[in-house]
Structure 1
Amino acid sequence: MMIAVLLLLTVKSAGTLSAAWSVTFENPDLCAVKGSSVTFRCIYNYTDGETVRKTGWYKGHLKNDIWKRVELSDLPSYHHRYEYLGDEQHNCSLAVHDLQVNDTGYYYFHFGTDTIGRRSKTSVYLTVSEVRATVQPERVRAGEKVTLECATSCQNGSTVWFKDGHPMTKTLSWAQAEDTGKYSCTVKGHESVQSHPVALDVQYSPLNVSAEVSQAGLLSVGSNVNLTCNSAANPEADNYTWYSSSSRLQVASGQVLSLPSLEVSHSGVYLCQAGNSVGESNSTAVLLEVGETKINRVILLVGIGVKVVLILFLTLIIIWVRKGWCHPAGDSEMDSHDYENMKMRNR
């Protein structure tokens, strides 16, 4: 009879101890993005009066077809990457940082008291997914359809897209010139960890074509001027043609039109056409005015005045020189006539 009572008390004590301890995981199935951080939220209980002496987290893996649990502190790949957030009372939460794909697996919690050690019966299964961005096709022409896809095994959040490192504010469906750039994606809530970027190349014919004149205003005859054709294009414009309204024909080719010695006939409206493998576009027209400027007219009048003065001055010199040669001969002849007259009188 006494033996039966002792056995009954032993069974009841074991049942009470077994029911007193537990480990509960808030979310036993987690998925996180490579490079991000994850937190295993955990609560554990034990028999009143017991004192917790040790806590630890383990990862399970197969070794020689035997399932083993290895403490994270014994795994070099986890050094400086995991952080125990719990205590030695009831909180057993764990954080793992800079997640890698091989962190995928089962995780267990263990704690020990003065009298017994316990391992969680259940586990947390963590899936670490690498996010991959794709763009199809990678090269399109403006106006063509383009598709962006973000692939990840985590389905616990919506996709967030970035263009050149900045969050996108529009959905990309039909490519435009400004859509050229590098695209990356991630799962919402993990914006600091993005996929490797993929490039989208949108090709388009020349835009914003402009013709610029090196000198503004009225240009003087004989001066020189350059007209330059500029545009935004992908690929870059490699074909330039210049047209004049006066001739209505092509006047030159090349990005720069040089007019080294202007004439009045060069006056008129000019425009350029820029082209690449996608198409061609014309610039707005620019007016070129060539004529006699006020300064040129002044210089011309001064030049004419100087010439007139020089001619008059030379004329006076010539007259004076001629007179100088003529007067001495006339005086000698007159003296000779006077001498002959005097002789005749003396006779």
Structure 2
Amino acid sequence: MASLRVSLPLLLLLMIVGAFGTEWSVKYNQQKICALKGSTVFMNGTFTHPGGQTVTEVFWVMDPDQNPSWPDMSKNADYSGRVEYLTDEWKHFSLNLNNVMKKDEHQYCVRIKTDQEKQKYLGRPGVTLTVTELHVETPGEVTEGETADLTCKTTCSLTDPTFIWYKNGHPLTTKTINNNQLHLQTVSSEDAGSYSCAVRGYQHLHSTAQNLRVRYPPKNVSVSIRPSGEIMEGSSVTLTCSSDANPPVKNYTWIKGSTSVGEGKTYSIPNIRSEDSGEYTCQSRNDHGERRSAAVQLNVLYPPKNVSVSISPSGEIVEGSSVTLTCSSDANPPAKNYTWFKEGGTSPVGSGQNYSIISITADHTGLYCCVAQNEHGAQRTAGVPVSLKGYPVILYVAVGVGLCFIFLVFLTVVLWRSRRKKQDENMDQPIYANEGEKDHSPPLEDKSSVYANVVAFKKQH
């Protein structure tokens, strides 16, 4: 085995180098840092210095080429309370810079002083800091059914960021996120809104929100009726069509049954008639499609009209036979009270839609009339003669008509008072019919019989 021989001069040289030969050096762990505005930046590294010296001060200098005196940045008023230095015995150093701003974009170098006044060192090139903000890019506007990609952008590359997305300020957890991109596979109207992004660990540093607009055809089409409640013949009624669409609906078509009856957002019937009753729908249209509302029912109420009497059997009536008088009318709701009168009498001779005379005699001959009544009014017929074969009949037309007319006046006054009271209680609230559901008007109140109305009227007078 060969022996290792070292001359004395060489040994002394090695000892001197070990004691005094260490040179100045600074090594930064990162020399380029991209940081979010408002975040905290950590710069660190290690250094060496010649032996036989003791480090007395370690601080940081900003842009040394522009500041030849290399001042301590912590003494700068702009950094007061935002700077923290750390150094240990193993020659590690670091700088914590809080709440970084755009104006903090500089080069930062560490400066080291020892107990020997002339032994100072500046480690450069130092760490270059770039400050960025998050910015969302959206397509701006898309059509329902298309795909859309939203991108969270920065002006420099962050270190291993995890992006978080927000819609209208709430985190999105069910959408596809690829790196800094939010992917919407099939856009719907519900995807419209305000989007922002952030980086995990700095969720409080949201980007400025950007809007995504979605174009879609009309939906949620509905019809409202004003005034609400009962619709009386002769009153004014307005139907209004509402819908959700982007762009807004520009064409409204009103359809009764299967026939187009009008255009525009509202459809007014100033003097509604019974023939206006029926089902109405509104069809809304924009550039991307059309949709029709559910049908709403207009039920026009009116008192009896076209009241008439028929006799069965027809033709000549033989004494001892039976005859039936039938009263018919057009009314909504249908007439529920029919009252029969015979000329010369002081009170009704019968009630109900049919009035039958069994085993007719000469005493039954004369003029008969019928008064039909519902909740909204009454109407009488003209006198209808009932005569027997072979018997002359004196027709007291004026008496018969007058008796029916007097009774009709009683009914009219009573019904007028009842209807005024009901109208005062009715609140003017619209009725809505949405897609998929139909309007059902409230049931009419059940009125007392015609006789009770007449009695009440007489007692009041």
TM-based fold match above 0.5: yes
The correspondence for 2:260, drawn from 246, 250, 258, is 250
CA distance in 2, matches of 1:100, 1:41: 19
AA paired with 1:134? E
CA distance in 2, matches of 1:68, 1:194: 39
CA distance in 2, matches of 1:111, 1:183: 47
Q: 1:165 Cα shift?
A: 3.0
3-state DSSP of counterpart to 1:270: strand
3-state DSSP of counterpart to 1:86: strand
CA distance in 1, matches of 2:410, 2:273: 27
Task: Report the more deviating stretch, 265-274 or 40-49.
Answer: 40-49
CA distance in 1, matches of 2:410, 2:252: 50
AA paired with 2:212? L
3-state DSSP of counterpart to 1:265: helix
Q: Give per-residue Cα distances to partners, 1:28-48, cap 9 Å, x unaligned.
A: 543212332222245678899
Corresponding position: 1:163 with 2:179: no
Change (3 A) 1:287 1:234: same
The 5-angstrom pairing of residues 84-163 of structure 1 reads 84-86=84-86, 92-101=93-102, 103-115=104-116, 117-120=120-123, 123-136=126-139, 138-152=140-154, 153-156=156-159, 157-163=161-167
AA paired with 2:79? H
Kept in 1: contact 2:64–2:109 (CA 8 A): no
Gaps of 5+ in 1: 310-347
The residue that corresponds to 1:227 in the other structure is 239
CA distance in 1, matches of 2:230, 2:42: 75
3-state DSSP of counterpart to 2:197: strand
Change (3 A) 1:68 1:134: farther
Kept in 2: contact 1:163–1:181 (CA 8 A): yes
The residue that corresponds to 2:374 in the other structure is 297
3-state DSSP of counterpart to 2:275: helix
Change (3 A) 1:304 1:54: farther
Change (3 A) 1:107 1:305: same
CA distance in 2, matches of 1:30, 1:105: 11
The correspondence for 1:307, drawn from 396, 403, 409, is 409
AA paired with 2:61? Y
Kept in 2: contact 1:82–1:94 (CA 8 A): no
AA paired with 1:196? T
Q: 1:274 Cα shift?
A: 1.3
Change (3 A) 1:287 1:4: closer
Change (3 A) 1:9 1:93: closer
Corresponding position: 1:210 with 2:222: yes
CA distance in 2, matches of 1:304, 1:284: 47
The correspondence for 1:278, drawn from 288, 291, 295, is 288
3-state DSSP of counterpart to 1:307: helix
The residue that corresponds to 2:453 in the other structure is none
3-state DSSP of counterpart to 1:274: strand
Kept in 2: contact 1:217–1:289 (CA 8 A): no
The residue that corresponds to 1:71 in the other structure is 72
CA distance in 1, matches of 2:48, 2:406: 115
The residue that corresponds to 2:415 in the other structure is none
The correspondence for 2:210, drawn from 198, 203, 210, is 198
Change (3 A) 1:145 1:69: farther
Kept in 2: contact 1:242–1:251 (CA 8 A): yes
The residue that corresponds to 1:188 in the other structure is 200
CA distance in 2, matches of 1:221, 1:32: 75
3-state DSSP of counterpart to 2:409: helix
Query: How many percent identity over aligned positions?
Result: 31
The residue that corresponds to 1:330 in the other structure is none
CA distance in 2, matches of 1:279, 1:123: 62
Kept in 1: contact 2:20–2:52 (CA 8 A): no
Q: Please report the TM-score for the alignment, with normalisation by the length of structure 2.
A: 0.53
Change (3 A) 1:45 1:243: same
Kept in 2: contact 1:209–1:231 (CA 8 A): yes
CA distance in 1, matches of 2:20, 2:168: 63
Q: 1:285 Cα shift?
A: 1.0
Q: 1:198 Cα shift?
A: 3.0
The correspondence for 2:273, drawn from 256, 263, 266, is 263
3-state DSSP of counterpart to 2:374: helix
CA distance in 1, matches of 2:80, 2:190: 43
Q: 1:197 Cα shift?
A: 3.2
Change (3 A) 1:185 1:307: closer
Q: 1:51 Cα shift?
A: 7.3
3-state DSSP of counterpart to 1:150: strand
CA distance in 1, matches of 2:11, 2:138: 76
Structure with the larger RCO, 1 or 2 (CA within 8 Å, 6+ apart): 1
The residue that corresponds to 1:13 in the other structure is 19
Q: Across the two proteins, how many residue pairs are aligned to each other?
A: 299
Task: Report the more deviating stretch, 295-304 or 127-136.
Answer: 295-304
